[in-house]
Structure 1
Amino acid sequence: MKHFDYIFTGTGLSAMMTVYKMVVSEKFVGKTILLIDEDSKKTNDRTWCFWQKEPSIWESVISKKWDTALFANESFKRDLDLSPYQYNQIRSLDFYNFVLELIKEQNDITFLNDKVTDINELDTHVFIATSTNSFTCNQLLNSIYNKVLIENQQQYPVLQQHFIGWFIKSKQNLLNPEQVTFMDFSVAQKNNTRFMYVLPTSKKEALFEYTLFSHTLLEKQEYESEIKNYIHNLGIQDYEIVEKEKGSIPMTCYPFWKRNTKRVLNIGTAGGWTKASTGYTFKKSDKKSTQLVSFLETQTDFRKFHKKNKFWFYDLLLLDILDRNNELGGRIFSDMFQKGNPALIFKFLDEETSFAEDVKVILKCPKTPFIKALFRIVFLSNKS
């Protein structure tokens, strides 16, 4: 049975980022690493976006940047100057190839295309079984999300950011490639939080995503019908669908860190690295993976890794509202963006604001739902 210093079960965004930074740091030379995943990472299965002030280490795989964004609902539209930020797009296959090329050059890193069937932490090591083999390691980093565990608990709301996206190529020059449509709530809400998200890469090409923050997924034809109608309403009549993508990202403040043990750390979505109130994953995973690599240089007890902050509580308030009154999402985001400072809002969503700045953003939101949510959460936590 082969032994490794580190094993990653699941090789999504968080694992790839962490391994890449471990290699670049040059602090783990001679350490053996095994990555296990059923998926060989050879397809473009998703698109990640994030806002950034300065160039990042992922600069070479960014496929498009925007300086402005559009926010809209049924009654208003606002052009958002994102300065000093830029909105960046990365296609997952470009990211996978970038990281895997570096991994291939490392003698001590192995990628195994297999299914994990068992994880068992023992006193001195962790045992991992796959469908064809078994291994041991000193420390395990797990990004395999346990959907049943999270959805069967009742204490913390669980919603989904779910979507279907079409990459289209039109024969008409009707798109503005210099502006991303960040959220367009002008689509029918149907007692949910529903919006269109558009990433134009040229005057003829764009990704259109019909997105919901809600509890349950829709039938495929409902997403696609809404995308088709939205494209038609823009005046685009003649186009081809080049590629499709779909996803469902859990939105929850469940305390994933409480399931970390001395030798097993949950990372990525399985570790709560997704921003609970928005579903954004890339930027938060970038920060958390940097923190993790620094932690691994000096620490071995994973129970010490996580630190809860005020933004976890803010996210919990919003999810409590959307859990009970899902139709309020459009109003909350509209109030925030209609008159709020876009740069400050993005800084807030990046969890980098001071308390005084937090207040400026929060006061733009409708107050009654948040006061009620605050009362419920504080009252119930005091009772329990």
Structure 2
Amino acid sequence: MPLLFRSGAGAGSDNGAVDVDLALIGFGGATSLLLTALDRHGVRGLRIAVVDPSPTRAHRTWAFWTGPADDLDPVLDAAWPAVDLYGPSGLRRLDLGPMRYAMVRSDPVFDLAAEAAQRLRAEVVVAQAASLTDDGTSVTVRDPTGALIVRSKWALDSRPARPARPGRTFWLQHFRGWWVRADSDVFDPASAILMDFRTPQPERGVSFGYVLPTGPRTALIEYTEFSPERLDDDGYDGALRAYEKLLGLKNVTVTQVEDGAIPMTDAPFDRRPSARVVRLGTAGGATRPSTGYTFSAMRRQADQIAASLAGGGAPVPAAAYPRRHLWMDAVALRAWDRGLVGAPAFFERLFTRNPPGRVLRFLDGLTTPGEEAALMASTPLVPMTRAAAGDLVARFGRGSLPRR
């Protein structure tokens, strides 16, 4: 693997600050995808700096919808043409063709980014970006001591950020996953379990398990909740042990653990806090409020930025999701949070009363208004109408603070 991280020239010294055209703040999924997109679009001649305080990166797994062919195919852990859904009425197998549900681990994505960074001749500054100051013509990046480390024409910031203002509902998609290995063939590599609502449901929120097999004996088994608060370690581990038992798994060994939490909120994020600072990832609005899905939107952001720069434009992506989708997500979150609609029944109806491709396009923010009308008609109309009315009142009256 090419060496990506190295000490930035002059980091910590105003006189030796790196002068670039593009500063990428934070090195995670969003920046990795952007580096590979810049390389794929043939962007050359730009001076690029990546600013991150650590040469190590957390291991994580991303799952996403894709077509019959994908740029990431060489590094995918697995892809499935069908998924299983365990809802209130039982098991449904959903044929996704021609789309697929795919999974990739972060290490090969980071490796591709490292190779792209070398071809792009990107400078990597191992330092913490404490402040970004935009004077309208350039952005200065300083470390916690106030020392100037980078001057850049543009800064693309993928670090976590708070919403611009409070929302009306604030939940988390929080989860823990076990990579497991069995001593016999117990998994079906042809299908993933997308949502298994047979897990015990929390008093406020929704839980489900899912199983992403990479072979007949290996899989990622995960317990997920959509709810206001995270669990403690015993809570996640107990839920995963119970889910293994529900699946009938015996003699499996846990080889790796991963967990995390993603905001699910109708609170808006400021995608462009100043003229030359652009946010990416969750802080840039890439997270779908009703599901927590982020990866596909990060890829779109990266591709749009790279295409614009390749054509001589500004590195500013379009909004990840249409405004009408964000409104529908706000209504769904309100309906679940106020107990107007049960999320298991909601998702079951969504998937079983619509072609799977339509649902997947909706989750990625790519449907037409006509398709969205059909999707809304498949949900429980009376309680969803009540949720929409309540959301409207909250937007323009009292009650705009998040319920936690």
TM-score by length of 2: 0.87
1:84 aligns with 2:108: no
Q: In percent, how many aligned pairs have the same letter?
A: 25
Aligned residue in 2 for 1:129? 142
Aligned residue in 1 for 2:202? 190
1:118 aligns with 2:113: no
Aligned residues: 377
Instruction: State which of 353, 367, 379 in structure 1 corresponds to 2:381.
Output: 367
Q: Any residues of structure 2 matched to 1:252-291 within 5 Å, and which?
A: 252-257=265-270, 259-291=272-304
Aligned residue in 2 for 1:69? 83
Instruction: State which of 20, 24, 29 in structure 2 corresponds to 1:4.
Output: 20
Asked if structure 2 preserves the Cα contact closer than 8 Å seen for 1:70 and 1:77, the reply is yes
In 1, Cα distance between equivalents of 2:342 and 2:356: 21
More helix per residue: 1
Q: Which moved more, 1:160-169 or 1:79-88?
A: 79-88
Instruction: State which of 217, 220, 223 in structure 1 corresponds to 2:230.
Output: 217
Deviations 1:113-145 (A, max 9, x none): 332222222243211113585221111001111
Deviations 1:136-190 (A, max 9, x none): 11110011112xx33x943342211100000000113221111100000011102
- Note the C-alpha offset of 1:272: 0.8
In 2, Cα distance between equivalents of 1:93 and 1:243: 14
In 2, Cα distance between equivalents of 1:253 and 1:61: 34
1:141 aligns with 2:153: no
Aligned residue in 2 for 1:238? 251
Task: Give the residue type in structure 2 aligned to 1:30.
Answer: G
- Note the C-alpha offset of 1:41: 4.6
Tell me, what secondary structure is at the counterpart of 1:248? Answer: strand
Task: Give the residue type in structure 2 aligned to 1:165.
Answer: G
Tell me, what secondary structure is at the counterpart of 2:120? Answer: coil
- Note the C-alpha offset of 1:337: 2.5
Asked if structure 2 preserves the Cα contact closer than 8 Å seen for 1:254 and 1:272, the reply is no
Q: Any residues of structure 2 matched to 1:295-314 within 5 Å, and which?
A: 295-296=308-309, 297-300=311-314, 305-306=318-319, 308-314=322-328
Asked if structure 2 preserves the Cα contact closer than 8 Å seen for 1:184 and 1:197, the reply is yes
In 1, Cα distance between equivalents of 2:91 and 2:318: 42
In 2, Cα distance between equivalents of 1:64 and 1:239: 20
Instruction: State which of 151, 155, 172 in structure 2 corresponds to 1:160.
Output: 172
Task: Mark the CA change 1:74 to 1:313 in structure 2 (over 3 Å): closer, same or farther.
Answer: closer
Tell me, what secondary structure is at the counterpart of 2:262? Answer: strand
Gaps of 5+ in 1: none
RMSD of equivalent CA atoms: 2.3
Task: Give the residue type in structure 1 aligned to 2:351.
Answer: F
Deviations 1:49-96 (A, max 9, x none): 111123122222112111111100354110111111111110111111
Q: Which moved more, 1:321-330 or 1:216-225?
A: 321-330
TM-score by length of 1: 0.91
Asked if structure 2 preserves the Cα contact closer than 8 Å seen for 1:68 and 1:179, the reply is yes
Gaps of 5+ in 2: 1-16, 399-404
Task: Mark the CA change 1:301 to 1:94 in structure 2 (over 3 Å): closer, same or farther.
Answer: closer
Deviations 1:349-374 (A, max 9, x none): 12222222112222221223321121
